[in-house]
Amino acid sequence: MDIAKIMIAGVIAAAVYSLIKQIRPELAPLAAFAGVAVIGISISSKLFEITETAGNMTIAAGIQSKNTAVLVKCAAICIITRLGADICNDNSCTAIGDMVELSGKIGAVAAAMPLIISAADFALGLMTG
């Protein structure tokens, strides 16, 4: 899907959200989520291409695939968390949005723990000789 189609889908989703917010405000968050889902699904094929290309590059460079998987997982956590927090904040639920962001940060750190442990082991190995 090219950027023009994504932009048009975003504008249409925003217009539908604004219209629904005036008529039935309690349904507005669902309209926002539906717009995010439609755009997310439309770009998912490009995300798969990017991850496949990154995987091929790491294999060619001799980098362990588990390290790349951790980085991709952290990036996905960050993107999903940001989308969820923005939807909460747009619907005047800033406290919930803040907690979504905090949980995403904790989730990203938890997902990165194997890399953190590897780096610490490597540093200890250098210090001990």
The 10s digit of each residue's pLDDT in 53-78 is 877 887 888 777 777 788 889 998 99
The pTM (predicted TM-score) of the whole model is 0.69
Question: What pLDDT is stored for residue 122 in this prediction?
Answer: 87
Query: Left if phi > 0, otherwise alpha if psi is -120 to 50, otherwise beta: which for 92?
Result: left
Q: In 3D, which of 57, 81, 72, 82 has the Cα closest to residue 111?
A: 72
Retrieve residue 128's tokens. Answer: 């001990």
- Predicted confidence at residue 129, as pLDDT, reads 67
- Tell me how long the chain is: 129
Once rounded to an integer, what is the mean pLDDT over residues 75-102? Answer: 90
pLDDT at 48: 80
pLDDT of residue 70: 87
The whole-number pLDDT of residue 111 equals 93
Q: Answer whether residue 1 shows pLDDT above 70.
A: no
Buried b (16+ CB within 10 A) or exposed e, 85-120: bebbbebeeeeebeebbeebeebbeebbeeeeeeee
What is the average pLDDT across 2-28? 89
Q: Is 24 a residue whose pLDDT tops 90?
A: yes
Residue 2 banded pLDDT, cuts 50, 70, 90: confident
Is the pLDDT at 108 greater than 90? The verdict is: yes
Q: Is the pLDDT of residue 102 over 90?
A: yes
Residue 98 per-residue DSSP state: H
